[in-house]
Structure 1
Amino acid sequence: MIYLKTEDEIDLIKESAQVLGKAHAEVAVWVNPGVATKRLDSIAEEYIKDFGGIPSFKGFNNFPASLCISVNEVVVHGFPSGYILKDGDIISIDCGVKLNGYHSDSAYTYPVGEVSKEVMDLLTTTKRSLYKGIDQAVDGLRMGDIGYAIQSYVEDRGYSVVRELVGHGVGRELHESPEVPNYGKRGKGVKLREGMVLAIEPMINLGTKAVVQERDGWTIRTTDRKYSAHFEHTVVVRKGKAEILTTFDYIEKVTANTSLMVEVK
């Protein structure tokens, strides 16, 4: 069942999203060569709890951490660990916050140190594709319009779209209906209605779209071991123009004029 959110519920998700955005920024400061990914997880968890939130991911289906940390060829659902970030890596940080009974969910992929132009172009294209999808989250359009906008944008530039993993509804539960694929056909799928709150999250690969799940039951990586990028916002479907509930503003304040900045013009 798809739940349409009231304005009061949307305001509560916005409050959650503010804590989430600031938690992301706290972590972004530490994304540097020489830092262990488990250190990033502890920073996020402490910040979220200090502001009265609950890390949405920790304990969700027994997931062991507050962040999904996915490095290089890992698409999503990577575990924080003792892995030490090094120059040339990319790292996707996916985080959720539950506050006042409502979840928000967002992800951002960072370059670590100096990365190649090929890799930076992947990050920039993936981030741009997120906004292409959000532009279609409008009352009266269809879910396929979101997916088509993302898919056509990235495939025209030589990248591939992961099929096995999709976005989702967000609200009292971290994952609600409907699913939000990053591929599709215009005019097809669930009709979008004002009040739907959706996590739109393109997962875009430098190489093949094929992925595999590791034996830990969570970690998803590309089969060709080429890099994958992931950006995500929680948005509400509106008439005329979608409203973005999560924010990258805090991230972009701390990454401005640094190698971490993924700029979209």
Structure 2
Amino acid sequence: MVQIKSAADIEAMKPACRHAADTLVMIEPYIRPGITTDEINDLVHDFTIKAGATPAPLNYHGFPKSVCTSVNHVVCHGIPCDKKIQDGDIINVDVTSIMNGWHGDTSKTFYVGTPRIQARKVTEVARQALEIGIQAVRPGATLGDIGYAIQSYVESEKCSVVREYCGHGIGRVFHEDPQVLHYGKPGTGLVLKPGMVFTIEPMVNLGKAAVKLLSDRWTVVTRDKSLSAQFEHTLAVTETGYEILTLPSR
């Protein structure tokens, strides 16, 4: 069931959302060739704990780390490890913070050193896809409107949208209803109402949309090994449109 959050609830979510966004600001200077994803995890973990927050991914259904780090053809849920990122890579850092019992969820794909042409292409399409999806959010619109807006743009750029993973409601629980698909038909699905809070987080592949789950049961990769990029915000539906909650405090 989709929860309608009060104005007070949404205000209470903002510290967690701001902290998640601030974490991405904090980590950006460290995204350089030679750093390991484990080191990124440790930086995120320490920053979160020092702020009095909790890293939501840690031990969530058994996930072993405090952040997801997805490099190149990894679509989502990459597990930090001792592998060093290299010049020309792209890496998505997906942060979810808990403060005062509320969750804030955001992610960004970073360039490592100098991006290659294809890496820049898929990253910029993913960045714009999120913006286009957000622009479709308003009372009376539908989830299908959001999905259609994203899918139409991504496919016009000769890229593809991942089907198996999607945005989600969020609040006191990490993953709530509704599921926010990044493809669809206009005018279909749940009608948006003020007080709904959810993420939009399109995963965009440079090649085909097909993905597979690795044996660790977490890491999702493109089947054709093409590059994948993602950006994510948590937002609330307002009386007149939307409010992005995962904006940094500085």
Cα distance in 2 between the residues matched to 1:55 and 1:163: 26
Cα distance in 2 between the residues matched to 1:49 and 1:8: 25
2:119 matched to which residue of 1?
A: 119
Of residues 113-122 and 155-164 in structure 1, the stretch that sits farther from structure 2 once superposed is 113-122
Q: Secondary structure at the match of 2:128?
A: helix
> Which TM-score applies when normalising by structure 2?
0.98
1:78 matched to which residue of 2?
A: 78
Amino acid at match of 2:87: D
1:206 matched to which residue of 2?
A: 206
Per the TM alignment, residue 118 of structure 1 is displaced from its structure 2 partner at its CA by: 2.4
Amino acid at match of 2:183: Y
2:56 matched to which residue of 1?
A: 56
Cα distance in 2 between the residues matched to 1:16 and 1:190: 26
Q: Secondary structure at the match of 1:240?
A: coil
Amino acid at match of 1:188: T
Do the aligned residues in 2 keep the contact of 1:74 with 1:220 (CA within 8 Å)?
Answer: yes
Cα distance in 2 between the residues matched to 1:249 and 1:181: 29
What whole-Å deviation, never above 9, does each CA across 1:205-259 have from its counterpart, x for those lacking one?
0000000000000000000101000100000012332110002675xxxxxxxxx
Cα distance in 1 between the residues matched to 2:217 and 2:199: 22
2:3 matched to which residue of 1?
A: 3
Do the aligned residues in 2 keep the contact of 1:136 with 1:242 (CA within 8 Å)?
Answer: no
Do the aligned residues in 1 keep the contact of 2:18 with 2:104 (CA within 8 Å)?
Answer: no
1:32 matched to which residue of 2?
A: 32
> Which TM-score applies when normalising by structure 1?
0.92
Cα distance in 2 between the residues matched to 1:228 and 1:249: 28
Per the TM alignment, residue 117 of structure 1 is displaced from its structure 2 partner at its CA by: 2.1
Structure 1 gap ranges (5+): 251-265
**Matched residue count:** 250
What whole-Å deviation, never above 9, does each CA across 1:49-108 have from its counterpart, x for those lacking one?
111100011111010111100000000000000010101110000010000110010010
1:240 matched to which residue of 2?
A: 240
Cα distance in 2 between the residues matched to 1:248 and 1:145: 27
Cα distance in 1 between the residues matched to 2:71 and 2:159: 18
1:118-157 matched pairs, under 5 angstroms: 118-157=118-157
Per the TM alignment, residue 20 of structure 1 is displaced from its structure 2 partner at its CA by: 1.1
Q: Report the RMSD for the aligned CA atoms in angstroms.
A: 1.0
Runs of 4+ in 1 over 2 A off after TM superposition: none
